[in-house]
Structure 1
Amino acid sequence: MATRRLNSKFDLAASLRGFGHQFRGLNTNDPAGWPSGPRYVLCIVVAAVVVVALWFVWLSGVNDELEAERSKEVALRADYQKKVAQAVNLELLKKQREQVQQYVTLLEKQLPSKAEMDALLSDINQAGLGRSLQFELFRPGQVVVRDYYAELPIAVRVTGRYHDMGAFVADVANLSRIVTLNNVSITPQKDGSLTMNTTARTYRYLDEEEQAAQKAAAAKAKTKAKKK
């Protein structure tokens, strides 16, 4: 038994020495001419390097994908919480929407139609005459059409006493239709009276033809923007 063990150790040592001798004097420029042992070792090392490199490349791509999915998860959670809050407050939002619609309807009622504009201009003029003011200028300008309404500027110049002008401004503010006074300037006269220059702006809602024209213009503008 002892002899067999000695022979086994001797054979193993000899094999290791022989394997080690194969790595001596290798020509690095000609791996094909190496003994079988070094060639196998080289193949194993190259395969291991390739596997490790591919592993890290794949792992990096997976990590980027994971981070992207985490970002999506955060965005989806935020969107979900927002929609849940809207669903919980749905009835309240409906009531608020109704209130806003009622308020918009109220404001629309304060805007005259095209046919009522002449009557509104007469009301402004009568408000000044009723306060004993003298109109030196009352000239409606060019109508400016907006998205949902039309605006009419009126150049106004009146002469009178200070308190009468204040009462005139208050009367204009209390008209049933919306009228604003802009760019107000007051200058004293030699006789003690005052002259007020201002631009009165009144507004009216668009009739059906004007609304159709506005929608057509908006659609045309969108088409031009898409072509660009």
Structure 2
Amino acid sequence: MAASLNDPRIQRYVVVGVLIVLATAIWYFRMYSPKLEEIKNKESQLEELRLKIHEAKLKVETYDELKREVMASYYKYRALESLLPLTQSVPEFLNHFYIAARNNNIYLSSLTPEAANQVDFYFVSPYSLKIATTYHGLGGFLADVANFPFIVNAGGISITAIPSATEDLSINVDLTLYTYNITESQRMPPPHFEELPE
């Protein structure tokens, strides 16, 4: 028995099959295709968000490490800053100078304070000295100056022999000692860190 399209039962099967294909095509083109594009867009957005989350986690780790480094650097800065007094303390400098000179048999001919100069964020106060001593005394004096509780540099050292040298005095020395100080407004404030959002 051959199937004939004139058979109403076959016609129903064909119509139902065409309706199923038509409904599937309508569903695919009207519902599934637009949603497929939306799904692809959402997947790419999800991937971007995952990438941003990963970068944020790395930044948080880096931020904490940088925060520790900044604080360590700040503490080192504070330690160095303690060597720069807030004001030019001439009496303290002269007291330390006198002790260093006395301990090393330094004979002072002249001590001339000069005008302080501002360099970057600090002030330099030069003191011109003329002293008489021995090489050993000069070395001990400069070593003591280097160990003052604040920064002092020596420069412009000129040494001449004394013609009638004795055991206590064999050289004349012209030199300049430089002391440094900083103003309160120039001091670095402690670092401020904003908390990262959770």
Give the TM-score of the pair, scaled to structure 2. 0.58
| Aligned-residue RMSD, C-alpha | 2.4
Corresponding residue SS for 2:149 = coil
Give the aligned partner of residue 125 of structure 1: 98
Q: Is 1:204 the equivalent of 2:188?
A: no
> For residues 179-199 of structure 1, what are the alpha-carbon distances to aligned partners after superposition, in whole Å with 9 as ceiling and x for unaligned?
000121211111231112111
- The alpha-carbon distance between structure 1 residues 89 and 189, as it changes in their structure 2 partners (threshold 3 A), is same
Deviation at 1:87, TM superposition (A): 5.4
Give the aligned partner of residue 140 of structure 2: 167
Structure 1 stretches lacking a partner, 5+ long: 1-82, 212-228
Task: Count residues with an aligned counterpart.
Answer: 128
Confirm or deny: 8 A CA contact 2:105 2:137 kept in the other structure: yes
Deviation at 1:85, TM superposition (A): 7.3
> For residues 49-104 of structure 1, what are the alpha-carbon distances to aligned partners after superposition, in whole Å with 9 as ceiling and x for unaligned?
xxxxxxxxxxxxxxxxxxxxxxxxxxxxxxxxxx9976553222212111111111
Corresponding residue SS for 1:89 = helix
> For residues 95-137 of structure 1, what are the alpha-carbon distances to aligned partners after superposition, in whole Å with 9 as ceiling and x for unaligned?
2111111111111111223263321233123311221111112
Alignment of 1:126-145 (within 5 A): 126-145=99-118
Identify which of structures 1 and 2 has the higher relative contact order when contacts are C-alpha pairs closer than 8 Å and 6+ apart.
Answer: 2
Alignment of 1:78-157 (within 5 A): 88-114=61-87, 116-157=89-130
The 1-side partners of 2:88 and 2:156 are apart by 27
Structure 2 stretches lacking a partner, 5+ long: 1-55, 187-198
- The alpha-carbon distance between structure 1 residues 189 and 115, as it changes in their structure 2 partners (threshold 3 A), is closer
Give the TM-score of the pair, scaled to structure 1. 0.51
Q: Is 1:158 the equivalent of 2:135?
A: no
- The alpha-carbon distance between structure 1 residues 154 and 88, as it changes in their structure 2 partners (threshold 3 A), is same
Equivalent position amino acid for 2:183 in 1: L
The 1-side partners of 2:140 and 2:107 are apart by 14
Identical aligned residues as a percent: 24
Deviation at 1:175, TM superposition (A): 0.8
Q: Which is helix-richer, 1 or 2?
A: 1
The 2-side partners of 1:177 and 1:159 are apart by 25
